[in-house]
Each structure stands twice: as C-alpha cells, then as structure tokens.
Amino acid sequence: MLPILVFIGDIIGVYGGYLVGVYKLGFNPANFIASTFEHLEFMDVFSGLVKAAVFGFIISLMGCYNGYKSKGGAQGVGAATTNAVVSASILILTLNYVITELFFAK
C-alpha cells in the first residue's frame, strides 16, 4: 500500500511543481512538461517505490515484534512503542543508504 501512496505523492509533486512553475514563476507549460520528462528517469521512480515497500515492511515488522514482546501493562506498551520507533528509524536510515548504493553506485 505504501508504494501506491508514494506513486500518488510523486504525481501530486510533479503537478504542484507545474502549477508553481507555470502560474507563479511564468514558465512555459510545454517547456516545463518537456523538461520534466527529459530529466525524469525510470530508476528514480522505481527506487522510490522499492524504498517505500522496504520501509513499510520495516515499520510493520518492528511494530509487530516489539508489540508482541511487550509486557507490563500500559507502561510496557509505551516502552515497546518507543523501542519500535527507534529501531525502525535506525533500520530505515541504514537501509536507505544501502538501497541507494545498490541502485545508484557506479
């Protein structure tokens, strides 16, 4: 589900750039679209979708793992939530570097 949201966000981002570029900054609409397609590469979009899938998996895995291991009532659930957020954040930062290296290393 997260890659679909990222794809929709990509489309909205390009459209927002079009609106700002054409209506606020006075760019030529045809030049903006041509330049966008000229500089947009498949690997940029694909890597973003792969990252979204991996990050979504990490978030759900850390949430489930820490939630399953929680004990001690509400205080334990709070500690498990904190542990899930911290561990997911560290894994996301680490895997973001690794995935970027895999896709864009020359």
Instruction: Single out the residue of 105, 104, 99 nearest to residue 54, CA to CA.
Output: 99
What are the backbone angles phi and psi of residue 27, rounded to the nearest 5°? Answer: -70, 155
Could you tell me if 33 and 63 lie in one domain?
no
Q: Give the confidence band of 26 by pLDDT, cuts at 50, 70, 90.
A: very high
pLDDT, mean of residues 24-33: 95
- Residue range 78-89, pLDDT digits in tens: 999 999 999 999
Could you tell me if 57 and 96 lie in one domain?
yes
Quote the pTM value: 0.80
Flag whether pLDDT at 1 surpasses 80. no
Which residue shows structure tokens 């979504």? 56
pLDDT at 2: 81
- Residue range 40-99, pLDDT digits in tens: 999 989 999 999 999 999 999 999 999 999 998 999 999 999 999 999 999 999 999 999
Compute the CA torsion angle 19, 20, 25, 26 (nearest 10 deg).
0
Could you tell me if 34 and 48 lie in one domain?
no
Could you tell me if 46 and 29 lie in one domain?
no
Q: Give the count of beta carbons closer than 10 Å to the beta carbon of residue 16.
A: 10
Could you tell me if 50 and 94 lie in one domain?
yes
Long-range contact pairs involving 17-25 (C-beta distance under 8 Å, separation at least 24): none
